[in-house]
Chains A and B, each alone.
Chain A
Amino acid sequence: MKKLITLAAVAGFMAVGGYAAAELRDSYAFVEPDAEDHPLDEIISGYEFRSIETQSLQADDFENPGYLLLDEGAELWETVDGSEGKSCASCHEDVEDGMAGVGSTYPKMVERDGKMVLTNIENQINHCRTENMGAEAWKYDKPEMLGMTILVRNVDRGEPVNVSIEGEAADHFAKGEEIYYERYGQLDMACSNCHEDYYGQYIRADHLSQGQTNGFPTYRFKWQGVGSLHRRFSGCMKNIRAEPFSKGGDEFLALELYLGYRGQGLPVETPSVRN
C-alpha cells in the first residue's frame, strides 16, 4: 500500500512538474559562448544532466527543498544582529532591490581597505556582518550562511551569469584556470579530465556534467540537504583522494571565478536540485 501511494505521488508530481521542466529546458539551459576563445563550444547547465524527476523538483518552488532555507534567509534578512543594532534590511532595504545584480555577477573584485580583493557572496556576507553589523561571522555551510546566500543569489534567478574577468580579476582568473587543469590526489585527476573531456558520459552510474556553478547553493540528494559550491569542490577533491583547499580560501575563490566564466550566459538557478 505504501508503495502504491508513493507511485501515485510520483506520477502526480511528474504530471505537474514535467511541464515546468520542459519550459526551463527550452528557455535556457543551453547557451553558446559569446567569446571566441571560450574553452567550451556549448555551455550546458548541470540541470540538463539530471533526470526529469530531479528537474521537476527544482522547477517547483513549493517542492524544491532549497526554498526552505531561502525562507530562513528571508527571516534573517530582517533580523537585527551584532553590536551596531542593524539587520541586512537596515542598509539594503528590500532584498529584491538591494541585491539585484549580485547573484549573476559574483564572485567579483571589491575594494577592502584600499585594496581590491576577490570575494564571493558568502565572503561578502561575512564582511558585512563583521565590519558593518558588529556581528559574528557565519561558518561556511551552516544553515544561516546557506539561507542568506540562497536568498541573495535567488534574486537574480533566471538572469545570465556575467562575471568579470577583466582588470584586477585577471590574475585570479588565471589562477583558477591553472587549478582547473592541474591534476590532484592519488587518482591524479584534474577538473578538466571529467568535466571538460568527458561530460555527457558515465563514470559508473554518475552522469558527468560540465561542472557548472549557476545553481549553487544546491540541494543535493547525496547530501540529503543543501550545500555550498565550495563544499562541492571539496567533495570532488576527496573523490580523487586529494587534500581539499579550504572553503572560502583563495584557491576555491579563484576556481569559482574561473568556473563562473566557463558558465557565462547560463541562467542563475539558485537553489537548484542535483544528484
Chain B
Amino acid sequence: MLKYAIPGIMALTLATASQAGEVAPGDVEIVDGTIEASLTGEAGDPARGKAAFVGRKAGNCLACHLVTELLDEQQFHGEVGPPLDGVGEVYTAAELRAQVVNSKAANPYTIMPAFYRTSGLNRVPEKFAGTILTAQEVEDIVAYLQTLRDE
C-alpha cells in the first residue's frame, strides 16, 4: 500500500502546488492576446524548449505543426496547424506565451489544446488532472519559438 501511496502523494503535489513565484493556471491573465511576464519569473531555455516542443509526452507540437529546420531529425510533421517557421520574427514572446497557454482565448474554435490551463475541461482522468506543460516548459518552448526566425 505504502509503495503506491508515496508516488500518489508526490504526483498530487506536482500537479496542484505551483513552485514559489510561479503563476498558477487559474491566475494567468491574457490581455490583448498577450502575457507579458514569464510564468515562472525566469527566462526560458531554448535548448530545453526544443526538447519539450518535440517530446511526444510533452508539447508534441510536431503533431500539428511543421518546423522546417527539424525535418532532418524528426519525420512526419503534422499539417493541421500552421507551419511555425519564422514565428519568432512575426510574434513577440508575450504573444507566443499567450498562444501556448490558451489559444482558445484568441479563437474559441481552434483544435489547439490549451497547454497551461486546468479549468473548463470535461472528463479528464485523475492522472491528467494537471496542465499539459509545466510553467517552466511553457517558458522554455516560448524561448525555443523565438529562435525560429527564418521564414
Binding site for B on A (CB under 8 A): 182-189, 193-194, 197-198, 201-205, 208, 237, 241-243
Contact = CB atoms under 8 A, between A and B. Distances in A.
15 contacts: A184-B123, A185-B123, A194-B80, A197-B111, A198-B80, A201-B80, A202-B76, A204-B76, A205-B75, A241-B124, A241-B125, A241-B128, A242-B124, A243-B124, A243-B125
Given A193-B111, A198-B111, A185 B124 contact: yes
A201 B79 contact: yes
B78 interface: yes
B101 interface: no
Contacts of A193: 111
A202 B78 contact: yes
Contacts of A242: 122-125
A243 B125 CA distance: 5
B113 A189 contact: yes
A185 B122 contact: yes
B113 A203 contact: no
B10 interface: no
Give the bracket for the number of chain B residues in contact with chain A: 20 to 34
A220 to B, nearest CB: 19
B63 interface: yes
| Most interface-central of A182, A187, A205 (chain B CB within 10 A) | A187
B76 A185 contact: no
Interface in B40-83: 62-64, 75-80
A-B complex: 8 closest residue pairs judged by Cβ atoms: A205-B76, A186-B128, A193-B111, A243-B123, A187-B113, A241-B128, A242-B123, A204-B63
A65 B61 CA distance: 35
Contacts of A197: 111
Interface string B76-97: 1111100000000000000000
Given A202-B76, A243-B125, A186 B113 contact: yes
B128 A185 contact: yes
A30 to B, nearest CB: 22
B118 to A, nearest CB: 9
B132 interface: yes
B121 interface: yes
Contacts of A184: 122-123
Contacts of B105: none
B113 A188 contact: yes
A204 B77 contact: yes
A186 B80 contact: no
Given A194-B111, A241-B125, A242-B125, A187 B132 contact: yes
A242 B126 CA distance: 10
B103 to A, nearest CB: 10
Contacts of B104: 188
B58 to A, nearest CB: 13
B121 A185 contact: yes
Nearest to A240: B113
